[in-house]
């Protein structure tokens, strides 16, 4: 049976924040799971990307494959990037008072013999069917480093802020389901 341990919970409780930063992540778990409930203040947009870095690395060490859909299904792939898009976030034009959700898994994050693999899933709700005003996504990729993950930092792409009540919770997972 898997054991979920809260490593850290962060919330924009008193106003907007530029990003979330999980530091000094212990290497004592099998996997990490980051659960998000987010909205940003990007104007004239229904969604934005989350720009994520591991271990403070902004070197070209990331690859990403994303499958996403609104009314149609599309995919994208990026290799040797300086950060990676792990999820989408609801923006200012999304349905009022709604937040996007995402769950990002970092598999075998403390192993120092292999590159780090991650997968995520999530969605942005809305109350109409207009293309790209709602979205579901599944992404995956790797961090091309054998270093154990000890820091996870992310911001909205383009310099926006996460709005009040956005939350991020990092779990350490031991055992199997």
pTM of the model: 0.92
- Structure tokens given for 46: 């229904």
- For each of the chain's 177 residues, which pLDDT tens digit applies? 689 999 999 999 999 999 999 999 999 999 999 999 999 999 999 989 888 889 987 777 888 888 888 777 888 777 766 566 678 899 999 999 999 999 999 999 999 999 999 999 999 988 877 777 788 889 998 888 999 999 999 999 888 999 999 999 999 999 865
> For residue 172, what pLDDT is reported?
97
Which residues have a Cβ under 8 Å from the Cβ of 177 and sit 6 or more positions away? 1, 2
| Residue whose entry in the numeric block shows the structure tokens 């990403």 | 64
Tens digits of per-residue pLDDT, 14-47? 999 999 999 999 999 999 999 999 999 999 999 8
* Residue ranges of domains in the chain, CATH in brackets: 3-174 (2.60.120)
Q: Which of 12, 4, 83 is nearest to 41 (CA)?
A: 12
Contact status, residue 143 vs residue 153, Cβ threshold 8 Å:
no
């Amino acid at each position: 049976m898997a054991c979920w341990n809260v490593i850290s919970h962060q919330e924009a409780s008193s106003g907007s924040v530029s990003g979330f930063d999980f530091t000094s992540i212990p290497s004592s778990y099998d996997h990490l799971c980051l659960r998000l409930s987010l909205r940003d203040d990007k104007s004239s947009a229904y969604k934005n990307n989350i720009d994520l870095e591991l271990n403070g690395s902004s070197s070209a060490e990331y690859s990403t494959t994303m499958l996403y859909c609104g009314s149609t299904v599309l995919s994208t792939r990026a290799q040797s990037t300086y950060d990676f898009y792990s999820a989408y976030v609801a923006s200012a034009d999304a349905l009022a008072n709604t937040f996007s959700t995402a769950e990002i898994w970092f598999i075998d994050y403390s192993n120092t013999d292999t590159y780090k693999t991650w997968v995520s899933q999530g969605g942005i709700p809305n109350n109409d069917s207009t293309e790209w005003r709602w979205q579901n996504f599944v992404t995956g990729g790797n961090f091309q480093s054998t270093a154990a993950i000890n820091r996870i930092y992310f911001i909205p792409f383009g310099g926006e802020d996460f709005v009040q009540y956005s939350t991020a919770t990092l779990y350490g997972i031991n055992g199997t389901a």
